[in-house]
Amino acid sequence: MIKKDVLGIRDMSKEDLIEILDTAKEMKKIIEGEKISDILKGKTIITIFFEPSTRTRLSFEMAAKYLGAHFGNIETKTSSVVKGESLIDTVRTVERMKADVIITRHNMSGAPHLMAKYLNASIINAGDGLNEHPTQALLDLMTIGEKKESFKGLKVVIIGDIVHSRVARSNMWGLLKLGAEVRLAGPATLLPKTFEKLGVKVYYDINKAINGVDVVMGLRIQLERQKSGLFPSKDEFVRYFGITSERMRLAKKDAILMHPGPINRNVEISSEAANSGYSVIEEQVTNGVAVRMALLKLLCERRKNNENNY
């Protein structure tokens, strides 16, 4: 059974991952059907994001509503956070309004872990600094699982700004636990060789990295970080590390192309490749709702089973 909080993939077992993915499959039937259920009737779900988001925040809202929960959102820019209220005081206030699950994104690695320590409500990490983005990895795993027979021996390459990517870290943990071979590719300034200690292969030549893989996963190049000189220019990054349809042809014939979004079109991925038959980017978005429904369901069930401890 999953823990009280969903803080990262690193501390999940393979069995946890399988339970979540199996539950998400069931939840997808609700999305594709009437989009209403009373599984979370009487439960209160709150989102509080300290960083921008389109997909993650809204998909949690839709997940809560499709399952019949009460739902609230705090806009941090117009909340008492701007008056200097502390992180813990803010989330304790939310908890006292009888929140069962609080979902948060923060630029500080470890912020959700800190909240989890102080609160009885379950915390879901929707992205913390450079650390993890567990729900993104879960939706990615679900999408791969729908397209491929087994994770065992599957070759997956993650390309781009690895060093700043919490998506890459969470996917790496999840894919390794499920038995896939993980390759990382990017410029040396965005991909330290030390990642190899974690059991992945590091490539500085994208063509070699893509060769023969089942799954190609692009990452958002964080253009704001160009100022710090981590790669010479955007054009150079596109030339040496951009994912194009031509490069996709180096992968297996039935390879899929993924990206967590938002996309910088014609930077880390060409517009043509993003719209091509390889792309499952839009399916990832739908699966994002399904895995978040699954997590809310499993966490609330766990809370019910451990009622005396909350």
- Residue ranges in contact with ligand CP by CB under 6 A: 53-56, 127, 136, 260-262
| CB of 310 vs ligand CP, minimal distance in Å | 28
Q: Which is nearer to ligand CP, 95 or 172 (CB)?
A: 172
55 known ligand binder: yes
Whose Cβ is closer to ligand CP: residue 170's or residue 203's? 170
Query: Which of 24/303 has CB closer to ligand CP?
Result: 24
The response to whether 262 counts as a known ligand-binding position is yes
Residue nearer to ligand CP on the CB measure, 112 or 127: 127
Kindly state the smallest distance separating residue 303's Cβ from ligand CP, in Å.
25
Taking the complex as a whole, the smallest distance from the CB of residue 172 to ligand CP amounts, in Å, to 16
* Distance, CA of 176 to CA of 153 (rounded, Å): 10
Nearer CB in complex with ligand CP: 187/261: 261
User: How many CB atoms lie under 10 A from the CB of residue 13?
Assistant: 11
Please work out, in degrees rounded to the nearest 5, the angle formed at the alpha carbon of residue 154 by the alpha carbons of 274 and 177: 110
Beta-carbon contacts of residue 181 (< 8 Å; ≥ 6 apart) = 153, 154, 155, 156, 201
Query: Is 83 a known ligand-binding residue?
Result: yes
Phi, psi (rounded to 5 degrees) for 158: -110, 125
Nearest-angstrom CA–CA distance, 34 and 268: 37
Least CB distance to ligand CP at residue 74 (A): 16
Nearest-angstrom CA–CA distance, 299 and 164: 29
159 beta partners: 185, 218
The contacts of residue 302 (CB under 8 Å, 6+ apart) are 1, 2, 3, 4, 122
Q: Between residues 160 and 260, which has the closer beta carbon with respect to ligand CP?
A: 260
Alpha helices in 99-213 (DSSP H): 111-118, 134-147, 166-177, 206-210
What φ, ψ does residue 153 adopt, rounded to 5°? 80, 0
Q: Binding site annotation covers 96?
A: no
Which residue lies nearer to ligand CP by CB, 181 or 258? 258
Residues with Cβ within 8 Å of 185's Cβ and at least 6 positions away in sequence, in order, are: 157, 158, 159, 160, 191, 202, 203, 204, 205, 206, 209, 210, 241
Which single residue is written with the structure tokens 């791969």? 144
| 284 has binding-site annotation | no
Cβ 41 to ligand CP, closest distance in Å? 27
In this structure, the strands spanning 44-49 and 101-106 are: parallel
Q: Is 226 annotated as a binding residue?
A: no
Tell me how far, at minimum, the Cβ of 105 lies from ligand CP, in Å. Answer: 8
Q: Does residue 261 have a known ligand-binding role?
A: yes
Q: How far is the CB of 82 from ligand CP (least distance, A)?
A: 21
Is residue 57 part of an annotated ligand binding site? no
Query: Is the separation of the CB atoms in 16 and 2 below 8 Å?
Result: yes
Neighbours of 16 (CB within 10 A): 17
Residue 133 annotated as part of some ligand binding site: yes
- Annotated binding-site ranges: 55-56, 83, 105, 133, 136, 166, 220, 261-262
- Annotated binding-site ranges for carbamoyl phosphate: 55-56, 105, 133, 136, 261-262
